[in-house]
Structure 1
Amino acid sequence: MQFRSTQSDDRLVSFKDAVLRCLPAGEGLYVPASVTDMRQFFLYMDLDISYPELVAAVTPGLLQGELNPFSASRVAESAFDFEPELKQLDDDLSVLTLYNGPTGVFKDFGIAFLAAVMEELIKNKGFAMTLSAAKGDTGVSIAHAFYKRQGIIAVILYPSGPIRGLDPAFFIQNGGNIIPIQIRGTFDDCQRLVAEAIHDRPFADRYGITSANAINVGRLLPQAFYYLYAFIKVKQHIKEDLIFSVPCGNFGNLIAGLYAWKFGLPLSGFIAAMNANNAFGDFFRGKEYRPHPLITTNSPALDVSQPSNYKRLVAFYQEAPAVMRNMVYPETVDDQATLIALEKAWKQHHLILDSHSAVAYAAAERYAKGGGDFYGHVVVLATGHPAKQADMIAEILGAELEIPEKLRKLQHKTDPVALIDPQLDALQGAIASCV
């Protein structure tokens, strides 16, 4: 598989270059230039296959010439000591839980794969540094995945505010390979600094800088694997179409699902489940995309007014506009409908969801009642552990939620290694002083 820029650059790069250099010149993002039909690798897989086995089987065919079966097995086993779980609720509905990793969010899957594959790609041949912007638990997920990876240092940029969940034993001054740096500014400042550092090629080449954010296609691409996993687990139970209902904020999960479809996954469509921000509702209906002011909701991870994957979605639509507009069905779910969905999932199926997963659940129910253009089995992506919103959910359901110890640890405050102004020279100086 080769990759190109979304800016219509004719230059093709390998998976290794796309991962280790992260961003093409200009303002584009890397996307697959062509996709291998992977149906022979997953259509006939055994129902009992584990997630690492699936990843190990699919990756060599996907990345032909870059990861052989032995390398792919090492990556899969190294990355995943956790896996998704498919829960079939009835003949028409299943839920795929993606919060079984160390920080209780779907991001753990992509970040874990990226860390393991980077270690394999530079094995005995070099070094790398991931520079990533973090809010919420993203920084913990990055730290956990990259800790003790040979030849890799992980720099994590935080905006103003408390930093939580990091273990100081991981830090570089304590013999680890993690460097948390706080910026006197916003999350947008952190993202800007990541891009500026990568585009400063002399500096980036000196330290081997890439990113563990979703701008790196090496983090986004492996999210397609859990769509394949869901199909393998549910295929013997479905007789009609297969549809996925996806909570959408930055739209990375939707992009990954579209990649899975390009790999040959036999599905009929996606429900793009958005909260009141409804970032791409007009775009999916064929209208011009126009950013709106941000709305604060009870599904905060979906509170995005200008999704970072816009360029990748545009690239899909430019390739096959008619096909894409008949595959992605936008649904907007407000706060009240989200709370109702939480309660209904509990009463009807004894299923506890977080608010983001409830947005996808409500969208799936609404679409099924509306008839849509197809009828079939819907798989709802549950992207966050409900215990992360324990107080809100307990109040709605009238049931106490048990909080796993790994999630309790995410509340511990941590001091950064450095506190700097939101300027590139300050960041470069902080990195130089730590390495």
Structure 2
Amino acid sequence: MNLYNIKHPEQQVNFAQAVRQGLGKDQGLFFPATIPQLSNIDELLALPLVERSQKILRALIGDEIPADKLNAMVKNAFTFPAPVVKVAENIYALELFHGPTLAFKDFGGRFMAQALATVRGDGKITILTATSGDTGAAVAHAFYGLENIDVVILYPKGKISPLQEKLFCTLGGNIRTVAINADFDACQTLVKQAFDDEELRQAIGLNSANSINISRLLAQVCYYFEAAAQLTAEQRQNLVVSVPSGNFGNLTAGLIAKTLGLPIKRFIASTNANDTVPRYLQTGEWQPNATVATLSNAMDVSRPNNWPRVEELFKRNGWNLSELGSGALNDAQTETALKAQYAQGYLCEPHGAIAYQVLKDQLQEGETGLFLCTAHPAKFKESVERILGIELPLPDALDKHNKLPLLSDEMDNDFATLRAYLLK
């Protein structure tokens, strides 16, 4: 598999190099030089999740990883289902929260851990990543206990849910977590500064495990095929997919699936009040505002890292950005949407509620709508219980960690302090 740096196309790497490096020169994102068109979509959709995903990832990655190793990577990573559930007439939910940390990031996090273990070579590796909520848990659990791999996760102090925090800040061992006194965008900037420091990169074997790493992105492509496989052929012909969007890796994966040949009519990028992309699509002006805290904290991102990949795909495929739907909800509208879902018999959480409502508002006659449910409602226990007036039992995975003490360090938004911490 050949990939190039979007900022510096002359920098070309293979899959193993892209996985090990994470980011390219000048913080550029790696992207596949070619994405094949699959001709046997119906045959693929008839296969089980793991077998289908093995074939999809083989088509994307090529022969760089031996078939038996790649097959084992997928089998070890995808050990849980992604069911499609009917919510309303012509509207379905793709539930991506049935993995060990109850969030969609389990797909990408676990596959990346398998990929890195396969291509790592010799020497120590330090995973440095920023999380707005769910990435932290997925990465921490995927890499926990792996030999010679240290993980450092930055998150905005007080701006993720208490249960999200408990899920990844209670592990210890090779997992270090740092609460930064700033917002998520500041955490992301610290990660980028670390990657720009060549001396630091070499000293600790720096890598990143959020959606900028190509292995995570490719893994996420697979569950779009899984969603389509659970719909009828007729429903697939007019399928509209609404993606709750923060860093825009999830939408990028969906667009790669469409590029491969999956019949998705159009996508909708659904955001909260951090609506840089919806405003950009309306006005053509890229004007990020200061990030604001919302009920849907995993989407509290004003400068989405993966947006260049979205634009690259549209440009390469000859698509027009006007074909990409978008919409944004504030917290009051999010609460109303969550209540509407619950009244129809479906229990959701703020991120999925936004994706549902924007989809419902924009779905046209004859279309089938699918929205992504990216996290278990219990991960947002306090807000969901308050909004719906119910009591939510904690799943075992959450309850176990909820009883453990937090092991996080706290740090101001200062790169010199972070650098010293990473070199400890």
TM (normalized to structure 1)? 0.86
User: Residues 336 and 268 from structure 1, CA distance in 2 versus in 1: closer, same or farther, beyond 3 angstroms?
Assistant: same
Identity of aligned residues (%): 31
Provide the C-alpha distance between the structure 1 equivalents of 2:293 and 2:170, rounded to a whole number of angstroms: 33
Q: Give the partner amino acid of 1:54.
A: R
User: Residues 109 and 239 from structure 1, CA distance in 2 versus in 1: closer, same or farther, beyond 3 angstroms?
Assistant: closer
Answering whether residue 410 of structure 2 is matched by residue 415 of structure 1, we say no
Provide the C-alpha distance between the structure 1 equivalents of 2:273 and 2:418, rounded to a whole number of angstroms: 36
Answering whether residue 346 of structure 2 is matched by residue 351 of structure 1, we say yes
Provide the C-alpha distance between the structure 2 equivalents of 1:43 and 1:223, rounded to a whole number of angstroms: 19
Provide the C-alpha distance between the structure 2 equivalents of 1:22 and 1:298, rounded to a whole number of angstroms: 30
* Corresponding residue for residue 15 of structure 1: 15
Deviation of 1:107 (Å): 1.6
Q: Deviations over 1:243-284 (max 9, x none)?
A: 101112222211111111111111110111222332212322
Q: 1:360 aligns with which of 333, 355, 359?
A: 355
Deviation of 1:377 (Å): 1.1
Q: 2:166 aligns with which of 164, 167, 170?
A: 164
SS in structure 2 at match of 1:26: helix
Q: Deviations over 1:48-105 (max 9, x none)?
A: 61x3333222212211122232111211122232231111346622110011122222
SS in structure 1 at match of 2:325: strand
User: Residues 410 and 236 from structure 1, CA distance in 2 versus in 1: closer, same or farther, beyond 3 angstroms?
Assistant: farther
Q: 2:279 aligns with which of 282, 301, 322?
A: 282
User: Residues 410 and 363 from structure 1, CA distance in 2 versus in 1: closer, same or farther, beyond 3 angstroms?
Assistant: farther
Deviation of 1:395 (Å): 4.1
Q: 1:402 aligns with which of 373, 393, 396?
A: 393
Provide the C-alpha distance between the structure 2 equivalents of 1:192 and 1:341, rounded to a whole number of angstroms: 32
Q: Deviations over 1:189-214 (max 9, x none)?
A: 44333223323334323432111122
* Corresponding residue for residue 174 of structure 1: none
Map 1:36-55 to 2 at 5 A: 36-40=36-40, 42-45=41-44, 47=46, 49=48, 51-55=49-53
User: Residues 182 and 332 from structure 1, CA distance in 2 versus in 1: closer, same or farther, beyond 3 angstroms?
Assistant: closer
Answering whether residue 381 of structure 2 is matched by residue 386 of structure 1, we say no
* Corresponding residue for residue 325 of structure 1: 321
Unaligned runs of 5+ in 1: 172-176
Q: Give the partner amino acid of 2:352.
A: S
Provide the C-alpha distance between the structure 2 equivalents of 1:342 and 1:155, rounded to a whole number of angstroms: 34
Deviation of 1:316 (Å): 2.9
Deviation of 1:424 (Å): 4.8
Provide the C-alpha distance between the structure 2 equivalents of 1:17 and 1:35, rounded to a whole number of angstroms: 18
Map 1:145-294 to 2 at 5 A: 145-160=142-157, 164-166=166-168, 170-171=172-173, 177-181=174-178, 187-236=184-233, 238=235, 240-285=237-282, 287-294=284-291
Q: Give the partner amino acid of 1:330.
A: S
User: Residues 111 and 90 from structure 1, CA distance in 2 versus in 1: closer, same or farther, beyond 3 angstroms?
Assistant: same
Q: Give the partner amino acid of 2:406.
A: T
Deviation of 1:110 (Å): 1.2
Q: Give the partner amino acid of 2:18.
A: A
Kindly indicate whether the alpha-carbon contact (under 8 Å) linking 2:87 and 2:341 is maintained by their aligned counterparts in 1: no
Q: Give the partner amino acid of 2:383.
A: M
SS in structure 2 at match of 1:43: helix
Q: Deviations over 1:349-395 (max 9, x none)?
A: x1111011011111111112xx3xx7421111111211122343334
Number of residue pairs the alignment of both structures matches: 418
Moved more, 23-32 or 307-316: 307-316
Aligned-pair Cα RMSD in Å = 2.8
Answering whether residue 335 of structure 2 is matched by residue 339 of structure 1, we say yes
Q: Give the partner amino acid of 1:337.
A: Q
* Corresponding residue for residue 59 of structure 2: 61
Provide the C-alpha distance between the structure 2 equivalents of 1:80 and 1:276, rounded to a whole number of angstroms: 33
User: Residues 38 and 71 from structure 1, CA distance in 2 versus in 1: closer, same or farther, beyond 3 angstroms?
Assistant: farther
Provide the C-alpha distance between the structure 2 equivalents of 1:256 and 1:276, rounded to a whole number of angstroms: 23
Provide the C-alpha distance between the structure 1 equivalents of 2:335 and 2:177, rounded to a whole number of angstroms: 36
Q: Give the partner amino acid of 1:331.
A: G
Moved more, 213-222 or 231-240: 231-240
Provide the C-alpha distance between the structure 1 equivalents of 2:322 and 2:155, rounded to a whole number of angstroms: 39
Deviation of 1:239 (Å): 6.3
Deviation of 1:156 (Å): 2.4
Provide the C-alpha distance between the structure 2 equivalents of 1:276 and 1:189, rounded to a whole number of angstroms: 18
Provide the C-alpha distance between the structure 1 equivalents of 2:352 and 2:99, rounded to a whole number of angstroms: 16
Kindly indicate whether the alpha-carbon contact (under 8 Å) linking 1:20 and 1:210 is maintained by their aligned counterparts in 2: yes
Unaligned runs of 5+ in 2: none
Map 1:40-189 to 2 at 5 A: 40=40, 42-45=41-44, 47=46, 49=48, 51-89=49-87, 92-122=90-120, 125=122, 127-160=124-157, 164-166=166-168, 170-171=172-173, 177-181=174-178, 187-189=184-186
TM (normalized to structure 2)? 0.88
Kindly indicate whether the alpha-carbon contact (under 8 Å) linking 2:172 and 2:407 is maintained by their aligned counterparts in 1: no
Q: Give the partner amino acid of 1:113.
A: F
Q: Give the partner amino acid of 1:301.
A: A
Kindly indicate whether the alpha-carbon contact (under 8 Å) linking 2:109 and 2:139 is maintained by their aligned counterparts in 1: yes
Q: Deviations over 1:306-344 (max 9, x none)?
A: 2222322332343356x2325311123333332232222
Q: Give the partner amino acid of 1:270.
A: F
Q: Deviations over 1:163-215 (max 9, x none)?
A: 633476641xxxxx323355566544443332233233343234321111222
